[in-house]
Amino acid sequence: MQQQNNNDTQKAMNKNHGGHELFDLQEVLNCSISAMDQFMIFRQYAQDQELLNLIDKQYQFMQSQYNLTAECFKTGQEPSQKTSTYLIKEVTPTVYGIKQSSPKKPIQSLADVNDAGVCGFMQGIVKKHASLLTTSALEATNPVVRRVLASQVQNFIEMSYELFLYQNKNAYYQVAQLNDTDMQQILNAFLPTAETPQMPEPNKDTALH
């Protein structure tokens, strides 16, 4: 009888997912696998040691997040490992301004793959996954799965920022700026609100009962 109750409880937890959520999580986990597979492929083309370290660091973090997501998705319970926080070891100042560089074009052979391309591919994957996690978390009905997905969004934002800093430092990702006059005009275009708004009373004739 006890075993039957445990089985019934386990089945109930496993069914604690909406249909839309099942498809979203299937996509999240498949995309996680694809991201890790691509990072592994990219590694053989990276030359810079710092970029190699980034590949390894971000791969290991994605692997840990994949494991706990798959676990809570399957069981409907808190995963055995807590979601961790992704930390950037060194935040370098952003370099602003556009320097003249060679025009870009698609590579003509695998011999053309370089560090600039590799970190660009990585950036695209991480950004896509951050967006997928966000939309999937908004649709998740299981409270544990929702929290696990939501907690990863900020981490993937940090991973993307870390890649941006590497790209910017090496002039792979240049940041244009407006002139001082235009920048100040936009910065000063909004004011904080300190007053208590006068909220309208509900229309009793049209209010739903």
Is 199 contained in some domain? no
Is 77 contained in some domain? yes
Give dist(CA 201, CA 42) in Å, integer. 60
Q: With contact defined as beta carbons under 8 Å apart, do 130 and 157 qualify?
A: yes
Is 61 contained in some domain? yes
Question: What pLDDT is stored for residue 18 in this prediction?
Answer: 77
CATH of the domain at 28: 1.20.1260.10
Mean of all residue pLDDT scores within the chain: 90
Question: What pLDDT is stored for residue 25 in this prediction?
Answer: 93
Total domain count for the chain? 1
63-81 pLDDT, tens digit per residue, is 999 999 999 999 888 898 8
Is 92 contained in some domain? no
Is 42 contained in some domain? yes
105-126 pLDDT, tens digit per residue, is 999 999 999 999 999 999 999 9
Write the Ramachandran bin of 97: left for phi over 0, alpha for psi from -120 to 50, otherwise beta.
left
Question: What pLDDT is stored for residue 100 in this prediction?
Answer: 87
- What residues make up the domain containing 79? 2-84+113-187
Is 68 contained in some domain? yes
Mean pLDDT of 200-207: 77
Give dist(CA 148, CA 43) in Å, integer. 28
Is 26 contained in some domain? yes
167-187 pLDDT, tens digit per residue, is 999 999 999 999 999 999 999
Asked which of 1-10, 146-155, 159-168 is least confident by mean pLDDT, the reply is: 1-10
Is 55 contained in some domain? yes
